[in-house]
Amino acid sequence: MAVATLASRVAGFARLVVLASALGLGGRLLDSYNVANTLPNAVYELVVGGAMASVVVPLLARAALTEADDGVVYAQRLLSLMVYGLSAVTVAAMLSAPWLVDLYTPGFTGGQRELAVVFSRFFLPQILFYGVSATAGAVLNIRGRFAAPTWAPLANSVIVIAVGLIYLLIGGATSIATLSTAQLLLLAAGTTAGVFAQMALVVWALARSGFAVRPRLDPRGIGIRRIGRLGGWVLVSVVASQVLLAAATRAASISGPGGVSAYQNALAVFQMPFAVVALSVVTAMLPRLSRNAARLDHRQITEDLSRAVRLAVVALAPVAVAMLVLGPQIATLLFGYGHSSPSAIMLLGVVVAAFGVALVPFTGYTILQRGFYALQDTKTPALITALVSVVGVAGCALATWLLPRADIVIGIPVAYAIAYTVGLLADIVILRRRLGRIDGHRLLRTHAQVAVAAGVAGSIGAVAAYALTPFTGSAVLTLTVAGAVGAAVYVAVARLVRLGEMRQLVTIALPSFFGGRA
């Protein structure tokens, strides 16, 4: 799963690079495209996305354990319900496109806003495609098949990369004023075609697994009231997350041309290591957590959560330090091509560095939230997420009021870091009361050891980068050398402080990469 996610994320970065090169990082055209492409994801998450992992997967797991047909009919009815419901949501969203764009972009100019509305009407059908893909992927996961849902996004990225390269080859516009109808259609239809391909591959894999993919006209029997009851608090959680996302996007749009793209691209850099390590752990862990919760095995739930957090922190702490120290070099390496402006790259590098502070608390917060969901408690994580949103929105507002206009976007990841630290602490306190223990001694010891190793590695890596920059002038060389030095120091110090989780990571990773079993 980590390998598949890594491949998909690498392709996703290639997509971002190609689009930034083609449309021009720092310009209004790319900002309009990015905002419009955010809307289907936001609407999907509001309607059903948050309930997928926290409600749908546990219910599918229970149906597979308790139903005579291993939950096949239940899954068919659920998949049909998604198609019917999300089709209606998609039509409503397309009619509401102008208001959705206004909600996210108070800083956009008239022409920029109109283009975002046009793009969004092409992109919003992705809501249905995401829903079908996610539901089919959840059914596959319950059946013990994780490959297709993690590889399918690769097809999406490959198609959009092809669209971006074609746009470059035909000399596509980099400004709104010179964008032709044909160029707009290429970007709009091609982007949505990528999401459709992602959905088609997951559904095909589900059919190949022996599952009969067929519509059920009557969705009764899947416990709609139960889903609604459990999903009610999930909706609160998702709304809170989307409020934070909207507040951050609004603040970035006020930051000036290129602000939205700097925020979103830095967020993508931030999310890649999290997705490769933590999200893979969470996806594989959730069915097991759900089964242990059904058996009321709180000891094993605590053990699973503790191990997941410790392994994720050991893997991601050096990445967080690398982002903090080498943010400008990372931005140059990933986006310093084509029509991207140097000033936009410089701004992006600072935002990437600021996001490094948020990576570890966000990872711990996200993993521990799954403990509540496994217990089928959606109320507590919703309230904690609401708290996180309040803190994050307040931070974005303070950034808008206190920072110079061009620097507002830099304050957004700082607000994220503070908000998710508050959320992590709340998770720990409440889970400890709920489960009786949270394995606090091992968690504290591991975090202290990681802090020492990452701190030393980051300091030496920063010195190496500072010393190399005047002589090489190459972001690639500086990043490679300083990163290698920092990684070597991290491993060495981790061994000195006897960080046992480092050995566990190697034990898990090596067999996986060479085709064995962890």
What pLDDT sits at residue 50?
64
Whether the Cβ atoms of residue 17 and residue 102 lie closer than 8 Å to each other: no
Going from N- to C-terminal start, the domains of the chain cover 1-222, 230-440
Computed over every residue of the chain, the mean pLDDT equals 85
Distance CA 246, CA 457 (A): 36
What pLDDT sits at residue 220?
64
What pLDDT sits at residue 91?
95
Whether the Cβ atoms of residue 189 and residue 197 lie closer than 8 Å to each other: no
What pLDDT sits at residue 231?
65
Distance CA 455, CA 443 (A): 18
What average pLDDT does this structure show over 181-200? 95
In the structure, what pLDDT confidence band is assigned to residue 515 with cuts at 50, 70 and 90?
Answer: very low
In the structure, what pLDDT confidence band is assigned to residue 513 with cuts at 50, 70 and 90?
Answer: very low
Instruction: State the burial class of residue 462 (Cβ atoms within 10 Å of its Cβ: 0-12, 13-18, 19+).
Output: middle
In the structure, what pLDDT confidence band is assigned to residue 110 with cuts at 50, 70 and 90?
Answer: confident
Distance CA 32, CA 259 (A): 11
* Short-list 74, 94, 79, 5, CA closest to 48: 79
* Short-list 281, 263, 366, 274, CA closest to 320: 274
What average pLDDT does this structure show over 75-93? 87
What average pLDDT does this structure show over 328-340? 85
What pLDDT sits at residue 306?
84
What pLDDT sits at residue 31?
93
What pLDDT sits at residue 466?
84
Distance CA 260, CA 116 (A): 12
* pTM of model > 0.75: yes
What pLDDT sits at residue 350?
94
Distance CA 355, CA 345 (A): 15
Residues 6+ apart with CB under 8 A from 99: none
Q: Which two tokens stand for residue 346?
A: 């410089």
pLDDT digits (tens, 9 = 90+) for 256-267: 888 999 999 999
In the structure, what pLDDT confidence band is assigned to residue 514 with cuts at 50, 70 and 90?
Answer: very low
DSSP conformation letters of 328-379: HHHHHHHH-STT--HHHHHHHHHHHHHHHTTHHHHHHHHHHHHHHHHTT--H
Number of helices and strands (H, E) in the chain?
21, 0
pLDDT at 508 over 60: no
What pLDDT sits at residue 52?
67
In the structure, what pLDDT confidence band is assigned to residue 98 with cuts at 50, 70 and 90?
Answer: very high
Out of 207-216, 239-248, 305-314, 460-469, give the one with best mean pLDDT. 239-248
What pLDDT sits at residue 90?
94
According to the 3-state scheme, what is the secondary structure of 168-221? HHCCCCCCCCCCCHHHHHHHHHHHHHHHHHHHHHHHHHHHHCCCCCCCCCCCCC
What pLDDT sits at residue 274?
80
What average pLDDT does this structure show over 363-369? 89
Range with the poorest average pLDDT among 244-253, 273-282, 445-454: 273-282
What pLDDT sits at residue 147?
79
pLDDT digits (tens, 9 = 90+) for 66-76: 666 667 777 78
In the structure, what pLDDT confidence band is assigned to residue 192 with cuts at 50, 70 and 90?
Answer: very high
pLDDT at 432 over 50: yes
b/e per residue 110-120 (b: at least 16 CB within 10 A) = eebbebbbbbb
* Short-list 140, 141, 132, 138, CA closest to 197: 132
Q: Give CA separation, 260 vs 245, 404, 408, in Å.
A: 11, 16, 11
In the structure, what pLDDT confidence band is assigned to residue 443 with cuts at 50, 70 and 90?
Answer: confident
Interhelix angle 2-23/259-273, nearest 10 degrees: 160
Interhelix angle 298-335/475-496, nearest 10 degrees: 150
Count of C-beta atoms within a 10 Å radius of residue 208: 12
Q: 345-348: long-range contacts at Cβ-Cβ below 8 A with a sequence spacing of 24 or more?
A: 345/25, 347/26, 347/258, 347/262, 347/406, 347/409, 347/410, 348/25, 348/261, 348/262, 348/265, 348/266
Whether the Cβ atoms of residue 138 and residue 100 lie closer than 8 Å to each other: no
Handedness of CA 435, 420, 15, 125 (dihedral sign): positive
